Amino acid sequence: MMPLNYYLILSAVVFAIGVVGVLIRRNLIVVLMSIELMLNAVNLTFIAFSRYLGSMVGQVAVFFVMAVAAAEAVVGLAIIISVFRQRQSLDPQDMQILKW
Amino acid sequence: MIVDVAIVALKAFLVVFMVLNLAGILGWVERKGSALIQDRIGANRASILGFAGMGLVNTLIADPLKFLTKEDFVPPAGDKLLHTLAPCMALFPALVTFAAIPFGDVITLGERVINLQVANLNVGILYVFAMGSLGVYGIVIGAWASNNKFSLLGGVRGSAQMISYEVAMGLSAMGVLMVYGSLDLQEIARDQGALISTLLPPALGFLQPVIGWLPAWGVFLQPLAFLLFFTAAVAETKRIPFDLPEGESELVAGYHVEYSGGKFLMFFAGEFAEVVTAAGVVVTLFFGGWQVPYLMRDGFHFPWGSVWLLPQITVVILQLIAFTVKVLFFCWLQILLRWSVPRFRYDQVMRLGWKMMLPLALLNVVVTAVVIIAAQ
Amino acid sequence: MDLSTLIFFLLAGLLVISSLLVVFLRDVVHCALALVAALLIIAIFFVSLHAPMVGILQIMVYAGAVMVLFLFVIMFLNPTVLERPRALWWSAAGILALLLGGLLVPLFFNHEPPGDPVASTELFGSPEMLAKSLFGDFVLPFEIASVLLLVAIVGAVVLGKRERSAP
């Protein structure tokens, strides 16, 4: 079993890659996928801590994060479909009507 | 440690070997069997020195050679990487699922007890469903990589059908899990060795002489779940009557129309491997897996009291034969089903999955829960 | 370096490579497949960390259903426009990633002997334990999560409907 630090470092690296993905990609679907990547990195942290502290709370938290992430992905994709029907584009730069 | 790893590797090799061989043989059974059902002769042109062996030479030697030596053609505008990856993604879950299915009880060699199951997971049945969910990717990627509208249509239909029937499959298996109280497939198979008389609550004691002498197989305890699960498993493998994604008379070959040669062979073998896997899961959950009725680890214990002791090796061989016979029966049943029943229309498939099977599966779960609580 | 350490570093490397592929590949379908690979590797990590139930759920729910939904939407929308990333965003994102990575530096210098994981029973992470926690201490969040899923389904169906032109 690896020391806890290794799992935390791995999880933080994946989270940082997810953040980079959200910021630099100009395709809404890839942005949503990067958000899923961030959620999974957090799940890994939860499970690692759950193992090292011997508590089931971490796994229950991951269960709920998974359920919420699934719901969010579904609604997010439905929104993307409606936006695409309106604007024929998936580029976040084209959706600036609400900017003041 | 090395011996443990070697034993697991041997078991895994045996299982994959048997599944792939059975998939090949099922190809022959399908061709010859369909010929017999349709009152024709079937493929018998290929022969070695005049020996055509009822189409065996044709299906098992000539066909694979033909597939493997064909040109590997990727559609010009198609995605080369995905086109090559899709057949692998279709074949992999079908083979890997068999790791959780027990094909025998334990073998005791000296002080080493070998469990005849490749991977003894405490979440066995969920692993089977998880690998079933991964099977959707082969279809979706295969359809997308072909850059062909008919392919895409077949692929989208196929994946929508598969994810709908996964729900019905999981819920109908839930009744079985509630009765046997475990997710581990080896535990479920073992628990089906008891007689129903030991499970009957005192309130239903009058049923004792009627069904008390039957072994506690899943099909006796959960008949509705068996029907639902078997139907959902056939729908998952996309065989007739649920084969609109392939739609041989409508979409040419659906999602694998642009595949030829070795890649098509992988799709083809994957489909038959899925038939074997579906049969394996149905047998384990509902028909006692490797259980021979009344056969315990040391011999036969008949319900009328007589005991017939047998050496351990005979018991193990009997159990292996029982498992093989049951799996072969369900493979044959699926092939028979293919050539007897017409194909469902797509909206009929979706309506069956969501509006008929899902409520029935939920009803089954509720009734099972009520009976289990009332029996305590 | 024993076998489990080697396997950990191998899987960790594959996970980082898959994540980088998700973010930096051009074709959206390839990104989705790289994400599926990353999810499967994370599921392997879960199983190795004594969470088999959550690991299998990850494969069933995330890799088996959510990503199929992503692929459906990608095939449905068929985006063919190539993106033009702007230099300003690249540098801002790079700085942010370095900052996040910088938070990790104390971890590298942590020289305390790593604590052993708390000894766990054989049942830790099994379906029984997870079910006991879910239906015992966490039954209220469980019910709220099911309501949330229902709301998400209704919302997705409503959002996805095509506008009917007036007859």
**Which pLDDT tens digit goes with each residue over B168-182?**
999 999 999 999 888
Give chain C positions within 8 Å (CB) of A5. 107, 110, 114
**CA–CA separation, C7 vs A26, rounded Å?**
35
Question: What mean pLDDT is predicted for residues B76-105?
Answer: 88
Average pLDDT, chain B: 86
> Is C141 at the interface with chain B, CB within 8 A?
no
Which fold is adopted by the domain A4-94?
Answer: Helix Hairpins (1.10.287)
Q: Do C89 and A23 touch (CB under 8 A)?
A: yes
B55 lies in some domain: no
What does the DSSP 8-state code read for residue B287?
S
CB contact under 8 A, C75 and B123: no
The answer to whether the Cβ–Cβ distance between B134 and C65 falls below 8 Å is no
pLDDT given for residue C66 in this prediction: 94
- pLDDT on residue A30: 92
The pLDDT confidence band at residue B216, using thresholds 50, 70 and 90, is: confident
CB contacts of B82 in chain C (<8 Å) are: 29-30, 33
CB contact under 8 A, B144 and C52: no
Q: Give the residue among B123, B129, B124, B126 at the shortest CA–CA distance from B165.
A: B129
**Closest residue to A73, CB basis, from C46, C69, C118:** C69
Pick the more confident residue, B317 or C98.
B317
Domain chopping of chain A, boundaries: 4-94
DSSP B148: -
* Residue B65 host element (H or E): helix B63-68
Position B275 scores a pLDDT of 92
Lowest mean pLDDT among B35-39, B46-50, B127-131, B221-225: B46-50
In this prediction the ipTM stands at: 0.92
Quick one: C25 exposed, middle or buried, by C-beta within 10 A (0-12, 13-18, 19+)?
A: middle
In this prediction, residue C110 carries a pLDDT of: 66
Q: Choosing among C5, C6, C73, which should be mutated to test the A contact, i.e. which has the most A CBs within 10 A? A: C73
Q: Are residues A60 and C134, on separate chains, in Cβ contact within 8 Å?
A: yes
C146 has pLDDT over 70: yes
User: Which chain A residues touch C61 with a CB distance below 8 Å?
Assistant: 66-67, 70
**Which residues on B lie below 8 Å from C65 (Cβ)?**
133, 163
Q: How far is CA B54 from the centre of its chain?
A: 26
Tell me, yes or no, if B140 comes closer than 8 A to chain C by beta carbon. Answer: yes
The three-state DSSP-derived secondary structure of C20-89 is: HHHHHCCCHHHHHHHHHHHHHHHHHHHHHCCCHHHHHHHHHHHHHHHHHHHHHHHHHHCCCCCCCCCHHH
Chain C CB contacts of B126 below 8 Å: 53, 56-57, 60
B141 assigned to some structural domain: yes
Sheet holding B299-301, edge to edge: B295-296, B299-301, B307-309
For chain A, which chains pass the contact test of at least 3 CB pairs under 8 Å? Answer: C
Q: Give per-residue pLDDT as tens, B285-322.
A: 999 888 888 888 777 888 777 888 888 888 889 999 99
Q: Do C156 and A52 touch (CB under 8 A)?
A: no
Burial class (CB in 10 A: 0-12, 13-18, 19+), C9: middle
Average pLDDT over residues C92-101: 76
| Unique residue bearing structure tokens 């405490």 | B122
* Whether A10 and C42 lie within 8 Å, measured CB to CB: no
pLDDT for residue C81: 60
Provide, rounded to the nearest whole percent, the portion of chain B with pLDDT above 70. 96
Per-residue pLDDT, averaged over B103-121, amounts to: 83
Q: A95 to chain C, minimum CA–CA distance in Å?
A: 15
Q: Which two tokens stand for residue C126?
A: 């099994």
Identify whether B28 is part of a domain.
Answer: no
Query: Is residue B284 in a domain?
Result: yes
Residue C114 has pLDDT above 60, yes or no: no
| Cβ neighbourhood burial of B355 (10 Å; 0-12, 13-18, 19+) | exposed
Q: Do C51 and A50 touch (CB under 8 A)?
A: yes
* Residue B369 confidence class, pLDDT cut points 50, 70, 90: very high
Which residues of C fall within a CB distance of 8 Å from B140?
68, 71-72, 75
- Residue C68 has its nearest CB partner, among B127, B140, B183, at B140
For chain B, the residue count is: 376
How many angstroms away from the CA of C60 is the closest CA of chain B? 5
Residue B66 domain flag: no
The set of residues, in sequence order, having a beta carbon less than 8 Å from that of A99 and lying 6+ positions away, is none
Whether C89 and chain A come into contact, CB under 8 Å, resolves to yes
- Distance between CA atoms of B48 and B46, rounded to whole angstroms? 7
Q: Does C29 touch chain B (CB under 8 A)?
A: yes
Say if B133 is an interface residue toward chain C (CB within 8 Å). Answer: yes
Which domain range does residue B290 map to?
82-374
Rank B79-88, C6-15, C84-93 by mean pLDDT and report only the highest: C6-15
Range of lowest pLDDT (A85-99, B174-188, C80-94): C80-94
Count of the separate structural domains present in chain B: 1
pLDDT tens-place string over residues B184-200 = 999 899 888 888 877 77
Q: Distances in Å between the alpha carbon of C49 and those of B4, B283, C36, C109, C113?
A: 22, 32, 20, 24, 20
Q: Which amino acid is at C5?
A: T
Q: What is the pLDDT of residues A17-65, one digit of tens each?
A: 998 888 888 888 999 999 999 999 999 999 999 988 888 899 999 999 9
Instruction: Provide the pLDDT for residue B264.
Output: 87
**Mean pLDDT value across residues C34-47:** 95
Burial class (CB in 10 A: 0-12, 13-18, 19+), C111: exposed
Res B250: pLDDT? 61
Residue B212: pLDDT band (50, 70, 90) is confident
Are C101 and A33 inside 8 Å of each other by CB? no
A58 within 8 A of A50, measured Cβ to Cβ: yes
Name the pLDDT band for B365 (thresholds 50, 70, 90): very high
- Nearest-CA distance from C58 to chain B in Å? 9
CA angle B20, B68, B71 (to 5 degrees): 145
The verdict on residue B319 lying in a domain is yes
Is pLDDT of C89 > 70? no
Q: Is residue B32 part of a domain?
A: no
Max distance between CA atoms of chain B, in angstroms, equals: 72
| C120: contact with B, CB 8 A cutoff | no
Query: Chains B, A in contact: 3+ Cβ pairs under 8 A?
Result: no
Locate the chain C residue with the closest alpha carbon to B138. Answer: C68
- Which 8-state DSSP code applies to residue A2? -
pLDDT band at C39 (very low <50, low <70, confident <90, very high): very high
Q: CB–CB of B116/B12 below 8 Å?
A: no
Q: Give the three-state DSSP class for B299.
A: strand
For residue B16, being part of any structural domain is answered with no
Question: 3-class secondary structure for B11-48?
Answer: HHHHHHHHHHHHHHHHHHHHHHHHHHHCCCCCCCCCCE
C81 at the A interface (CB within 8 A)? yes
Query: With an 8 Å Cβ cutoff, are C56 and B82 in contact?
Result: no
pTM of the predicted protein model: 0.91
Going by their DSSP bridges, the two strands B299-301 and B295-296 should be labelled as antiparallel
